[in-house]
Amino acid sequence: MSDPMKGAASGATNGSPHGAPRHAHESAAGAVRDLALRALIVGVIGIAIAYATAFFSEPVARLGPWIMAVLMPITMFAMMVLGAVRAGRGIGPLAIPFVVVFVLVAGGFVFALWLPPEAVDTPLWLGLPPRAAVILFGVGLLPLFMLPIVYALTFDAFTLNDEDIARVRAARLPGANPKGGTH
Amino acid sequence: MGTLALLLQAAPMPSLSQPIIGGVALAYFVVVAIIGTWAARRTRSATDFFVAGQGIGLFTLAIASMAATLSGFAFIGGPGLVYTVGLGAVFIVLPAALTNSMGAWVMAKRLRLLAEVREMMTIPDAIAARYDSRAAQGLSAVAIIIAVVGYMATNILALGLVIDAIFAPGLALSIWIGTAIVLGYSVSGGILAGIYNDVFQGTLMALASGAVFWYALEAGGGFSGMSRTILATDASLLSPWGKLTPLAALSFYFVFGLGSLGQPHVIHKFFMLRDARRLKWFPLLMTAALFVSLLLFIGVGLAMKSLVLSGATPALDMPDDATPAFLLRFTPVPLAALVFASVAAAIMSTVNSFMSIGAAALTHDLPVAFGTRLSNELKWGRIWTVVIALVSAVVAQASGTLVAFLGIFGWGLFASTLVPALAVGLNWRGATRAGAIASIATGLTITLSLETLAYLKRFSFPAGVTASAIALVSSLLVFFVVSWFTRTTAAATLAPDVRAVMEV
């Protein structure tokens, strides 16, 4: 499913930050947005299939967690890309941290499914059995501050700056009263 | 009722009647009252009452959002769940590694910028603006009202249980006392009082949680000591999924991860930020606050399990005793008192947020959906705040499985009705009005019907998957399918100012 408005005359004042031809950036951003949207839809369908496997017996039922482990992070990161992509700019340097954190999360889930179950003499990684350590430290702790720091560092260039706010304010409809409300 | 039944604080706590605990709790309530009085004097309009006059700063936004996100469950039910099902319970809080940044990219900027071009008091306002649809606004308001009453009833019951454990006036009276305290500052100062109380309450929660985590590690012999003790007796507790199925644990991650984008009591705070550019540091600050506040959740649950298994402390009567028992045995009384005040704080900050969005839905969204606007929204906001609180308190008096049932679907109902239409819709210009309405209706219908069937023990999803997860997936699929079939109408429902917001 592609965005029916993809390619429409949008963001007419949103120029390229690097002076490259505008339509090339628009096209790249549209492609990223389209890809994210497709990934989101595929992810949601995949999660539905994962849930459906619960109604079956082995070995089909065993597939559910594996499907979920990969497609659920795809869904969440597709959502994040959809939010981060900018008309005329794509996601720029955000691509790398997004991929890294996706690998940490999805890889952590897959690794936890793949490793053998715990036993009394299981070696400990940072005080926890390996599978638990992968989930708690790899999926939970490592990405914890990575994305917030990336968000802050790229905020002015890729999320919001004074020009963006001015452009939005200029788009107010006649008679609009953002701070309205009856007393 | 499924696994989510474990997420509710609906059972009595052990007696906490000690002078120091009572004194700290009393002092806490006095501070809350002072902040409420201060805020009441600054509440002069409906905008002040519902969106804090759109004048709060970054620190206030981050701490208040954290406080509203965490209810008493983070301090009582959560550690109890870790104690019972092991590390599988951690999948409820694990998405916090992503949710704050995801929320910032997907929701924060768009919602805050919508408030630059339109009057934004509520989340249904944003849905109405996005789809130019009063029907979508009304339907989302109905979903919010249903979820709010159920959610509030369980939280007010939890507050009553805490007050009863500390002061012992009886549960029925404790529920009314708790309701009166929250109502006192909510009705006078609205969300403005709530926000600044949230800052106080959130700070208290973070400090208490961090300190208790340190004591938990010390008592349990660090992660290694706890792991060795637990592995020797029941290794499955330290499986990454604990005693849940992998599908159920991953399902928690999905519902509490993606579902976080549809929690109106948290995301409507984005309207309140004074300067949109301050969002730059929001995820980092919110993540840091949330991380510290959630340490207790994991630490106490694991520590108590290992202490019980090693014989260092008697077995618990019920899982929710994990935190009270740990605090009373292994921490100094003043710290225990601070944590119990934090539990009340966590509950009250959540209740206040629910009161605000529920009252706003009744005062503002429903009349607007029917094509009218109340002449004095401030007055009506206060009236509806009282009504919602009283209804919730009456429901809470019916302590037991019915109240637990009502609270269960709150998070899921918000997620399934708001995530597709709002989170996806604000970032995808192909979304249509019909898609939004269909997805909200789907979320509402599936959540209510599946949860009711589970409550009546007629049907529950295999492998421990929750109704909330099924409802969220279904509403997303319906949203995409209906939007695709009605795609030719997408452009017509997108106003130029909203389009400008979506292009940034």
Q: For B443-497, how does the pLDDT look when each residue is reduced to its tens digit (9 = 90+)?
A: 999 999 998 888 788 888 888 888 899 999 999 999 999 999 999 999 888 999 9
CB proximity under 8 Å: B 359-398 to A: 373-378
Domain count, chain B: 1
Helix (H) / strand (E) element for B389: namely helix B377-397
* Residue B500 belongs to some domain of the structure: no
In sequence order, what DSSP letters do the residues of A11-40 get, joined into one string?
A: -TT---TT---HHHHHHHHHHHHHHHHHHH
Q: Among candidates B304, B410, B336, which has minimal Cα distance to B78?
A: B304
Q: What are the residues whose beta carbons fall under 8 Å from the beta carbon of B132, sequence distance 6 or more?
A: B433, B493, B494, B495
Closest Cβ–Cβ partner in A3, A61, A128 for B227: A128
Cβ contact, residue pair B280, A172, below 8 Å: no
Closest Cβ–Cβ partner in A118, A122, A168 for B500: A168
Three-class DSSP category at B56: strand
| Residue A15 pLDDT | 41
Chain A contact present for B15, CB below 8 A: no
User: Residue A128: what are its φ and ψ, rounded to 5°?
Assistant: -130, 155
Cβ contact, residue pair B96, A172, below 8 Å: no
Closest Cβ–Cβ partner in A50, A55, A120 for B235: A120
Cβ contact, residue pair B284, A151, below 8 Å: yes
Q: Are residues B178 and B163 in contact, defined by beta-carbon separation less than 8 angstroms?
A: yes
| Residue B405 pLDDT | 61
Q: Which residues of B touch A176 (CB under 8 A)?
A: 117-119, 497
C-alpha distances out from residue B312 to B84, B229, B296, B328, Å: 18, 11, 20, 14
Cβ contact, residue pair A148, B120, below 8 Å: no
* pLDDT, mean over chain A: 85
Closest Cβ–Cβ partner in B104, B239, B497 for A173: B497
* Residue A3 belongs to some domain of the structure: no
Between chain A and chain B, how many beta carbons pairs sit less than 8 Å apart? 288
* Residue B9 belongs to some domain of the structure: no
Chain A contact present for B501, CB below 8 A: yes
* Residue A175 belongs to some domain of the structure: no
Chain A contact present for B428, CB below 8 A: yes
Q: Are residues A72 and B97 in contact, defined by beta-carbon separation less than 8 angstroms?
A: no
Band (pLDDT 50/70/90 cuts) for residue B406 is low
What do you get for the CA distance between the two ends of chain B, in Å? 43
Q: Which domain holds residue B118?
A: 15-397
Chain A contact present for B38, CB below 8 A: no
Closest Cβ–Cβ partner in A14, A142, A148 for B100: A148
**How far is C-alpha B259 from the geometric centre of its chain's CA atoms?**
11
Chain A contact present for B214, CB below 8 A: no
* Residue A7 belongs to some domain of the structure: no
How many other C-beta atoms are found inside a 10 Å radius of the C-beta of residue A58? 7
Q: Which residues of A touch B224 (CB under 8 A)?
A: 124, 127
* Residue A14 belongs to some domain of the structure: no
Chain A contact present for B473, CB below 8 A: yes
ipTM computed for the complex: 0.91
Q: Which residues of B touch A179 (CB under 8 A)?
A: 47, 54, 119
* Residue A139 belongs to some domain of the structure: yes
CB proximity under 8 Å: B 98-117 to A: 98, 100-102, 104-107, 109-110, 113, 115-117
> What are A5's two structure tokens?
């408005």
| Residue B452 pLDDT | 86
The arithmetic mean of pLDDT across residues A95-99, rounded, is 95
| Residue B3 pLDDT | 44
Q: Is the pLDDT of residue B299 over 70?
A: yes
* Residue A1 belongs to some domain of the structure: no
Q: For A143-167, how does the pLDDT look when each residue is reduced to its tens digit (9 = 90+)?
A: 999 999 999 999 999 999 999 999 9
CB proximity under 8 Å: B 249-268 to A: 250-251, 253-254, 257-258, 261
Q: Which residues of A touch B253 (CB under 8 A)?
A: 72
Cβ contact, residue pair B238, A132, below 8 Å: yes
Cβ contact, residue pair A4, B490, below 8 Å: yes
* Residue B402 belongs to some domain of the structure: no
| Residue B402 pLDDT | 60
Indicate which CATH number applies to the domain containing B348.
1.20.1730.10
The pTM of the full predicted model, rounded to 2 decimals, is: 0.91
* Residue A60 belongs to some domain of the structure: yes
Cβ contact, residue pair A180, B47, below 8 Å: yes
A106/A109 Cα distance (integer angstroms)? 5
Band (pLDDT 50/70/90 cuts) for residue B156 is confident
Closest Cβ–Cβ partner in B223, B251, B490 for A127: B223
Q: Among candidates A94, A153, A156, which has minimal Cα distance to B276?
A: A156
* Residue A2 belongs to some domain of the structure: no
B50/B378 Cα distance (integer angstroms)? 9
| Residue in this structure with the two tokens 């295999």, named with its chain if needed | B462
Domain count, chain A: 1
Three-class DSSP category at A90: strand
B498/B422 Cα distance (integer angstroms)? 13
For residues B478 and B189, which has the higher predicted lDDT (pLDDT)?
B478
Q: Is the pLDDT of residue A8 over 50?
A: no
Three-class DSSP category at A86: strand
